[in-house]
């Protein structure tokens, strides 16, 4: 997984007055806490958070301080101003190579669903997948191949299972599905027979029965 470096300065005072002064100077109050380490309060320039916060991607973070101390971490929580959306405070959680962590990883679909080619619409139930694994084993994104999905079929989280991480969702959680639409195209019987895909060849999908209710 990609990592972003944030250089910070440790804080001696954490009162409201000093916190306000930091924000007025374009800095964000932060804290690193969790695990065996004591909470570490620090500040960093607000612009350093742009690539971490305002993106659909996920990253780990390398925190570097003036005294040479360094920590690997992940973003735990963030607070925004209710009016200006300025970052008010950021919480980080330390990570270690030999200890698993839980993160939400973006899902990238691959291919064009067969049902979409026939006029259906691909509907997404999940855009991110919560997984748990060692930091070095977690990917930047998870690929979900939708090519074989026909109209009425669903792609479940079990279709993207990987030995490197454990999915933190029930097996019946749906990633996406192909629904009918007004642009539905009638499929020629001969073409359907020629390109037919057996139900077992569509991993972790479900076919909607003709009389089933939505």
Q: What is the pLDDT of residue 45?
A: 95
| Residue from 54, 34, 46 nearest 6 by CA | 46
Q: How far is CA 137 from CA 7, 77, 150, in A?
A: 25, 22, 32
What is the distance between the alpha carbons of residues 122 and 142, in angstroms, rounded to a whole number? 18
| Residue from 47, 44, 48 nearest 22 by CA | 44
Q: What is the pLDDT of residue 160?
A: 96
The series of mean pLDDT values per 10 residues for the chain, 214 residues long, is 94 86 92 86 94 91 94 95 93 95 95 93 95 95 96 96 96 95 57 38 47 43
Kindly tell me the burial class for residue 39, based on how many C-beta atoms sit within 10 Å of its own C-beta (0-12, 13-18, 19 or more): exposed
Q: What is the pLDDT of residue 190?
A: 42
Q: What is the pLDDT of residue 53?
A: 92
Q: Tokens for 139?
A: 């990917």
**What does residue 190 show for φ and ψ, rounded to 5 degrees?**
-65, -45
List, in order of start, the domains of the chain with CATH numbers. Answer: 3-95 (2.40.240.10), 102-207 (2.170.120.20)
Q: What is the pLDDT of residue 197?
A: 37
Q: What's the whole-model pTM score?
A: 0.77
Is residue 41 a contact partner of residue 30, using CB atoms and an 8 Å limit? yes
Residue 191, classed as helix, strand or coil, is: helix
């Amino acid at each position: 997984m990609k990592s972003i470096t944030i250089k910070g300065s440790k804080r001696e005072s954490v009162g409201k007055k000093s916190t306000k002064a930091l924000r007025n100077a374009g800095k964000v109050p932060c804290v690193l806490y969790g695990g065996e380490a004591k909470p570490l309060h620090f500040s960093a320039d607000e612009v350093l958070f742009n690539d971490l916060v305002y993106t659909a991607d996920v990253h780990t973070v390398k925190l570097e301080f003036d005294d040479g101390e360094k920590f690997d971490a992940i973003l735990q929580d963030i607070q925004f101003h209710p009016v200006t959306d300025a970052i008010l405070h950021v919480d980080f959680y330390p990570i270690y190579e030999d200890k698993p962590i839980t993160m939400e990883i973006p899902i990238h679909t691959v291919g064009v669903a067969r049902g979409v080619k026939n006029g259906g619409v691909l509907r997404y139930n999940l855009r991110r997948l919560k997984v748990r694994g060692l930091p070095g084993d977690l990917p930047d994104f998870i690929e979900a191949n939708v090519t074989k999905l026909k109209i009425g079929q669903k792609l479940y989280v079990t279709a993207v299972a990987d030995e490197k991480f454990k999915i933190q969702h029930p097996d019946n959680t749906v990633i996406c599905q192909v629904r009918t639409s007004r642009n539905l195209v009638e499929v020629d019987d001969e073409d359907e027979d020629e390109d037919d895909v057996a139900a077992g060849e569509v991993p972790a999908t479900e076919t909607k029965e003709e009389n089933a209710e939505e």
